[in-house]
Structure 1
Amino acid sequence: MMNRISSNMMYDQSVALMLSKQSKLNHLEQQLSTGKKIVSAKDDPVGSGTAVGMDRVLAELEKLGSNANAAQNRLGLQENVLSQAGELLQQVSDLTVQANNPALSNEDRKGVANELKAIKDSLLALANTTDGSGRYLFGGAADANAPFTVSNGIVSYNGDQTQRQVEVAPGTFIKDALPGSEIFMRVRTGDGTVDGAAASANTGQAVLTDISRDGSGSWDGSSYSLHFTAADTYEVRDARNAVIGTGTYASGEDITFEGLRVRIEGTPAAGDTFNAGQAGTRDVFATIDQLVQTLQMDTSTQAGRTAQQNALQGSIRDVRRASELMIDARAAGGAQLAAADDAASLREANTVTLKTSLSQMRDLNYADAIGQYKLEGAALQAAQTIFTQMQSMSLFNMIR
């Protein structure tokens, strides 16, 4: 095959060379002005696609960070509210101990009852705390309306039992604030497992001061009762009223039976009964209401005073358990805040890695680009010089 050499061919080649060099210079100018190595997808199709994927991951990480900030805000508010609620319950406990003092007059107890009513109102206000965005903190998923309402003095919970989970890092979730039913409503009485009380018909001066499991682990959850046959002897009866044991009573000494431990102080009368069994549940507001009613009991007789002391001892146990529940809830919230901090560290590490990879993929090496720009500029000048010289040349000059 033979190629013909002509003036037009040489002209076309020179023009194409100059245009090519000019295009490269324009591309380098764009890179230098933007600081980006990839000006358009055609510069590096594979790298450009990978970079777009990384951008999406970075956007997702930013969204997860926003989720984490919102969840941390709510968990922080929960911590503050529970701290204040715990302080209020400590005041209730102190007032209950104060009210148990036999030296207090009825007017003194009336003053204590008024303080307890004010504390209940404060607790209710805390239970209806909002998160700053108009959503109620302890309403669960139904947090658009106040979760706690009062009707005829009785507090009701209107939220649900849902505890949201929020994704705060890829594959990492933390729990949102607890629903109010788990903090304020479903509070176990007694020590949280076992509870007991004196029978209302008791006529002696014995007070149930403590009840719990004895540590042997043999209690199966059944209910029992202590029946005093005399001031210093008793029978233990099961739920069917069958006698399963007997013993001698001494004030202040522990009575153990079937895996339970009961402590009674004072002098019982024959026929007095104390019951023991599984703890029930009661909301903290009802516990305070019951305590207020206890302070209004008739104490004109010794039996009335003893009944009030038994009720106050029960209230002390119930308030103590409610305080422990607040502490448990704070600990659970603290664990979620710690998990959020760990997730933030993971997001930050992932973000740094992705941005470093994107920088290597997209960002321009100015030293290399400037060197290339100068090289292409010199090549363009050379091409222009050759083109200028070629214009004055002709094949006819070669055959003269």
Structure 2
Amino acid sequence: MRVSTASAFDASIANLQRRQQQLQDTQQQLTSGKKISQASDDPTGAARAERAMVSIDRVDANQRALEASRNSMTLSESALGDSNEILQQVREAMVAAGNASYTDTERAGLATKIAGLRDQLLTIANRPDGSGGYLFAGQGSSTPPFLDQNGGVSFTGVPGTIQTGNMDKYPLSVNGQQAWEQAATGNGSYVTADAPNANTGNPAKGWIDGGRVTDPSLLTGHDYTIQITGTAPAAQSYSVNDTTLGTSVISGPYTPGKAISADGMAFTISGAPVDGDSFTVAPSTHSLKVFDVLDRAVADLKTPLRGQAQISQSNSARIRDLDSVMSNLQNARTQVGEQMNNLDNSESRLSAIKLYSKSEQSAAEDLDMTQGISNFQNQQSGYDTALKTYAMVQRMNMFQYISG
């Protein structure tokens, strides 16, 4: 009978080494808390953990971009809020300037006040974003985007916005040209005005108000002229002509202060128009600039020796334009607010994705400590048993077997 051979000894040693390696691996897992230290430990689990880590890194990058966008949008929203507060002060000054008891000197004082508010507004329009750029520079500018020069303030930035390079494209700037220079002219649908080179030299001429829309479905977007003919008070008439089509729209006797309606529009000619006075109606455009409105208001208030009718007409037009630019800035502020809401929603979504990815990573590579300790104890018992068995087998030889 063969008691021991080299093969048996080799098998015992190999078994010991295998059990010792398993014990060391389990000890390392218990120490690190990870059941995967290298890809060969569990290729499938390692790939799963790697995908989770890539997702977490992507979320971290998106969160950094989101915070940069949030900082920019918060500063922009604050700047737009400050702008509307200043324009409200300008509007209050214009309303006060319409007071019939005010003198030219008092109106000039209000003009000085508005000029100072204009300068404050220009500072806000050129407010930096804290990172070397400007909030309203659009797609970027190394210099302040609004330049005050002869002829007024002009936008020197690049229209548009800067966005982050990630998939969600978070905004990093506001389109300054759109916010500050693209308000709707007139009442938002059409613009009324004196006809060019008309109504001059009349000491008590008439004027047209801003008008209103009575039926949006009837608006044509055409150009019109309103002609006053005849002498006051009973022989005057009006005619409304569509200059785009070259046709007459409506005509009738003119009554001061009574609205004239045509193609879904209604406007009123007041004062004392004379034979030949004419007015125009043109489609509204998005070309009204904040600083142009303020400059015209200052110039009007500094003009002396105007009659009350002229003052009322001028103030009415300036207040109408102020309301339009304030509404446009408020719309820009609303858009920024929507962006901030979207950022909040994106942040919640990114947090949920990151939590899920971390859970996936943990499930793939983290060790169940209870299971790990149990495995370690079982492996330790097995190793001790194998070690004792090997020691007993190693001491046996033929003579021991015979004598035994």
Relative to the length of structure 1, the TM-score reads 0.91
User: 2:199·2:277 contact (CA, 8 Å) conserved in 1?
Assistant: no
Q: What is the distance in 2 between the residues matched to 1:5 and 1:251? A: 132
Match of 2:37 among 16, 36, 39: 39
Find out whether 1:376 has 2:379 as its counterpart. yes
- Residues 245-268 of structure 1 show CA distances to partners (whole Å, capped at 9, x for unaligned) of 322334443211133211233333
Task: Report the counterpart of residue 238 of structure 1 in structure 2.
Answer: 242
User: 1:203·1:272 contact (CA, 8 Å) conserved in 2?
Assistant: no
Q: What is the distance in 2 between the residues matched to 1:200 and 1:249? A: 17
Match of 1:210, SS state, is coil
Find out whether 1:214 has 2:232 as its counterpart. no
- Within 5 Å, give how 1:123-202 maps onto structure 2: 123-152=121-150, 154-166=152-164, 171-198=167-194, 199-201=198-200, 202=202
Match of 1:322, SS state, is helix
Q: What is the distance in 1 between the residues matched to 2:348 and 2:269? A: 55
Q: What is the distance in 1 between the residues matched to 2:258 and 2:174? A: 40
- Residues 105-140 of structure 1 show CA distances to partners (whole Å, capped at 9, x for unaligned) of 011011110011111111111111111112111111
User: 2:140·2:162 contact (CA, 8 Å) conserved in 1?
Assistant: no
Shift of 1:61: 0.6
- Residues 62-104 of structure 1 show CA distances to partners (whole Å, capped at 9, x for unaligned) of 1001111111111111111111111111112111121122221
The CA RMSD over aligned residues, in Å, is 2.3
Find out whether 1:352 has 2:371 as its counterpart. no
User: 2:65·2:164 contact (CA, 8 Å) conserved in 1?
Assistant: yes
Find out whether 1:330 has 2:333 as its counterpart. yes
Q: What is the distance in 2 between the residues matched to 1:39 and 1:123? A: 61
Task: Report the counterpart of residue 73 of structure 1 in structure 2.
Answer: 71
Amino acid corresponding to residue 215 of structure 2 in structure 1:
G
Q: Which moved more, 1:238-247 or 1:151-160?
A: 238-247
Match of 1:388 among 387, 391, 402: 391
Q: What is the distance in 2 between the residues matched to 1:383 and 1:293? A: 103
Find out whether 1:227 has 2:227 as its counterpart. yes
Distance 1:321 1:379, change over 3 A: same
Match of 1:63 among 61, 64, 67: 61
- Residues 38-62 of structure 1 show CA distances to partners (whole Å, capped at 9, x for unaligned) of 1211110121122112211110111
Find out whether 1:282 has 2:280 as its counterpart. no
Q: Which moved more, 1:15-24 or 1:150-159?
A: 150-159
Shift of 1:162: 1.9
Shift of 1:193: 2.6
Match of 1:140, SS state, is coil
Q: What is the distance in 1 between the residues matched to 2:326 and 2:121? A: 12
Task: Report the counterpart of residue 248 of structure 1 in structure 2.
Answer: 253
Match of 1:310 among 298, 309, 313: 313
Q: Which moved more, 1:201-210 or 1:48-57?
A: 201-210
User: 1:187·1:282 contact (CA, 8 Å) conserved in 2?
Assistant: yes
Find out whether 1:272 has 2:282 as its counterpart. no
Amino acid corresponding to residue 117 of structure 1 in structure 2:
A
- Within 5 Å, give how 1:79-158 maps onto structure 2: 79-152=77-150, 154-158=152-156
Amino acid corresponding to residue 227 of structure 1 in structure 2:
Q
Match of 2:364, SS state, is helix
User: 1:138·1:177 contact (CA, 8 Å) conserved in 2?
Assistant: yes
Relative to the length of structure 2, the TM-score reads 0.90
Shift of 1:167: 6.3
Find out whether 1:294 has 2:310 as its counterpart. no
- Residues 352-398 of structure 1 show CA distances to partners (whole Å, capped at 9, x for unaligned) of 11111111111111111111111111111111211221222013433
Q: What is the distance in 2 between the residues matched to 1:261 and 1:111? A: 36
Q: What is the distance in 2 between the residues matched to 1:345 and 1:251? A: 62
User: 1:25·1:373 contact (CA, 8 Å) conserved in 2?
Assistant: yes
Distance 1:126 1:221, change over 3 A: same
Task: Report the counterpart of residue 15 of structure 2 in structure 1.
Answer: 17
Shift of 1:24: 0.8
Q: Which moved more, 1:346-355 or 1:239-248?
A: 239-248
Q: Calculate percent identity across the aligned residue pairs.
A: 27
User: 2:183·2:288 contact (CA, 8 Å) conserved in 1?
Assistant: yes
Q: What is the distance in 2 between the residues matched to 1:24 and 1:243? A: 100
Amino acid corresponding to residue 249 of structure 1 in structure 2:
Y
Distance 1:165 1:134, change over 3 A: closer
Q: What is the distance in 2 between the residues matched to 1:244 and 1:378? A: 106
In the alignment, structure 1 segments of 5+ residues that lack a partner are none
Match of 2:217, SS state, is coil
Amino acid corresponding to residue 291 of structure 2 in structure 1:
F
User: 2:84·2:329 contact (CA, 8 Å) conserved in 1?
Assistant: yes
User: 1:17·1:383 contact (CA, 8 Å) conserved in 2?
Assistant: yes
Match of 1:384, SS state, is helix
User: 1:297·1:308 contact (CA, 8 Å) conserved in 2?
Assistant: no
User: 2:139·2:161 contact (CA, 8 Å) conserved in 1?
Assistant: yes
Shift of 1:25: 1.0
Task: Report the counterpart of residue 260 of structure 1 in structure 2.
Answer: 265
Distance 1:242 1:38, change over 3 A: closer
User: 1:203·1:269 contact (CA, 8 Å) conserved in 2?
Assistant: no
Amino acid corresponding to residue 226 of structure 1 in structure 2:
I
